[in-house]
């Protein structure tokens, strides 16, 4: 019997380790934000004749924080991400000569050094924000960039958050969690397969959507909205101690793209994920900046849109499912199934390529064409 889920349809993600696949299912609640997300995901990305003509899933910014130790074999390890990040910085410095030179050089050793890590990545994220501007106000730099430089600019942001998740998952004392990680279903990718695509439609939140935001923490497996704009949320700025970010790049969720984040941090705590002493400091910090901690529009917590369909996995705990998922470095299908778990063809899409194939194709594309100006934002 199907658990209570919106439209009697479950959301699914097919994870893959290259040899076998595992499909995880979620029950979607009937909150305004959940209905908004489902409609937008289908219309922008996975439905028949969708707005973007089936945009590509960005597999270089997908499964974050999965390894549990520094030495655990993992295809996108810190060395790989640092190499990609340093290459991106070189592209920007070489091709955008009027922009102040980015002098940072990243190594795994710097990433694992607490005294350097946080400041390094706050600076890096600030470079990204200045280069790209906001979703509703593109920077002068982004307007004059060719596609290669735009791609490199997006790499700054992706590598920043990917390495952050890596460090958080492995570093002792980062939260009282048994396991850490996130899956991001994001389509902020370039058309490296040669297919011309269209821009997504940006849908803006209404008051009824903001009212679905809670102040409590979230449990393992929760589906929450993707941050579909540039910058950081108020909580991220506070948690990061970010003194580089401009006020114009601090904003709560205001755009729904249809993308989604899957919390694979557990167990979490619905009542008190955030320590009360830290939370009182956050509330005071918000007040000093002119925000009300108790105003739903401030968005101090998350809006949970769905939870795993645990009834389909009676012999598993969240811990055993976490282990299965985190052995996978790929996602090969996303969409919705009916009450019998049959894939709904007009609400689902396959992505049969790896992040390595995506990266190789992107590099090849830019080795042939540096000057086009068509990129996601």
Among candidate residues 172, 170, 164, 266, the one with its CA nearest the CA of residue 217? 266
What local confidence, expressed as pLDDT, does residue 12 receive? 98
Structure-block tokens of residue 321: 């499912």
What local confidence, expressed as pLDDT, does residue 192 receive? 85
Distance CA 153, CA 92 (A): 7
Average pLDDT over residues 314-333: 96
What local confidence, expressed as pLDDT, does residue 170 receive? 87
Average pLDDT over residues 143-148: 93
Q: For the chain, which residues make up each domain, given as ranges?
A: 14-368
In sequence order, which ranges of the chain are alpha helices (DSSP H)?
32-41, 78-95, 108-111, 114-132, 140-144, 147-170, 207-210, 234-240, 276-288, 318-325, 355-368
Predicted confidence (pLDDT) per residue in 241-300, tens digit: 888 888 888 888 889 999 999 999 887 654 444 455 678 888 999 999 899 998 888 888
Q: What share of the chain is helix, strand, coil (3-state, %, to 5)?
A: 40, 15, 45
What local confidence, expressed as pLDDT, does residue 1 receive? 44
In sequence order, which ranges of 216-352 are alpha helices (DSSP H)?
234-240, 276-288, 318-325
Show the CA angle centred on residue 174, arms to residues 285 and 122, nearest 5°: 55
Q: How confident is the model at residue 193 (pLDDT cuts 50, 70, 90)?
A: confident
Among candidate residues 107, 104, 144, 108, the one with its CA nearest the CA of residue 122? 104
Give the sign of the dihedral formed by CA 355, CA 149, CA 191, CA 156.
positive
**How many of the other CB atoms lie within 10 Å of CB of 114?**
9
Q: Judging by DSSP bridges, how do beta strands 203-204 and 63-64 pair with one another?
A: unpaired
Among candidate residues 37, 377, 7, the one with its CA nearest the CA of residue 225? 37
For residues 89 and 368, which has the higher predicted lDDT (pLDDT)?
A: 89
What local confidence, expressed as pLDDT, does residue 271 receive? 43
- pTM here is 0.91
Q: Is 124 helix (H, G, I), strand (E, B) or coil?
A: helix
Average pLDDT over residues 152-156: 94
Predicted confidence (pLDDT) per residue in 201-248, tens digit: 989 999 999 899 987 778 899 999 999 888 888 888 898 888 888 888
What local confidence, expressed as pLDDT, does residue 174 receive? 55
Say if CB 264 and CB 218 are below 8 A apart: no
Structure-block tokens of residue 168: 């958080």
Structure-block tokens of residue 320: 């055993």
Distance CA 104, CA 107 (A): 10
Percent above pLDDT 70 for the chain = 93
Predicted confidence (pLDDT) per residue in 330-355, tens digit: 999 999 999 999 999 999 999 999 99
What local confidence, expressed as pLDDT, does residue 57 receive? 96
**Chain position carrying tokens 């920007």:** 92
Distance CA 21, CA 327 (A): 10
Distance CA 145, CA 66 (A): 33
Beta bridge partners of 11: 26, 336
What local confidence, expressed as pLDDT, does residue 300 receive? 86
What local confidence, expressed as pLDDT, does residue 249 receive? 82
Assess whether pLDDT exceeds 60 at residue 374. Answer: no
What local confidence, expressed as pLDDT, does residue 168 receive? 86
Assess whether pLDDT exceeds 50 at residue 30. Answer: yes
Structure-block tokens of residue 38: 């489902």
pLDDT, mean over the chain: 89
* C-alpha atoms less than 13 angstroms from C-alpha of 325 in its C-beta half-sphere: 30
At 87, give phi and psi (nearest 5°): -60, -40
Lowest-confidence segment of 71-75, 174-178, 181-185 by average pLDDT: 174-178
Assess whether pLDDT exceeds 70 at residue 65. Answer: yes
């Amino acid at each position: 019997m199907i658990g209570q889920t919106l439209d009697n349809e479950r959301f699914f993600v097919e994870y893959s380790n290259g040899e076998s696949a595992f499909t995880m299912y979620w029950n979607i609640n009937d909150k305004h934000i959940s209905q908004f997300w489902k409609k937008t995901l289908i219309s922008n990305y996975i439905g028949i004749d969708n707005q973007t003509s089936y945009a590509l899933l960005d597999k270089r910014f997908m499964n974050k924080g999965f390894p549990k130790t520094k030495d655990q074999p993992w295809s996108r390890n810190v060395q790989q991400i640092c190499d990609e990040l340093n290459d991106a910085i070189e592209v920007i410095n070489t091709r955008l000569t009027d922009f102040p030179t980015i002098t940072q050089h990243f190594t795994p050793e710097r990433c694992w050094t607490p005294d350097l890590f946080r400041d390094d990545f706050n600076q890096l994220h600030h470079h990204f924000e200045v280069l790209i501007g906001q979703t509703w106000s593109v920077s002068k730099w982004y307007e004059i960039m060719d596609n290669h430089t735009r791609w490199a600019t997006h790499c700054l942001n992706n590598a920043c958050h990917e390495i952050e998740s890596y460090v958080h998952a492995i570093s002792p004392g980062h939260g009282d969690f048994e396991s850490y990680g996130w899956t991001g279903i994001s389509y902020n990718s370039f058309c490296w397969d040669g297919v011309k695509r269209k821009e997504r439609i940006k849908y803006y939140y209404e008051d009824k959507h903001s009212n679905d935001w809670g102040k409590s923490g979230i449990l393992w497996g929760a589906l929450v909205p993707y941050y579909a704009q540039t910058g950081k949320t108020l909580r991220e700025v506070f948690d990061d101690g970010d003194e580089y970010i401009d006020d114009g790049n601090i904003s709560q969720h205001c755009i729904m793209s249809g993308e989604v984040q899957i919390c694979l941090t557990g167990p979490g705590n619905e009542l008190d994920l955030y320590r009360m002493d830290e939370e009182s400091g956050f509330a005071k910090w918000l007040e000093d900046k002119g925000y009300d901690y108790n105003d739903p529009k401030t968005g101090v917590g998350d809006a949970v849109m769905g939870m795993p369909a645990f009834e389909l996995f009676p012999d598993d705990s969240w811990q055993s499912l976490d282990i299965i998922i985190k052995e996978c470095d790929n996602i090969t299908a996303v969409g919705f199934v009916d009450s019998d778990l049959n894939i709904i063809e007009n609400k689902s899409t396959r992505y049969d390529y790896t992040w390595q194939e995506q990266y190789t194709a992107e590099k090849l594309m830019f080795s042939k064409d540096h000057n086009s100006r068509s990129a996601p934002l």
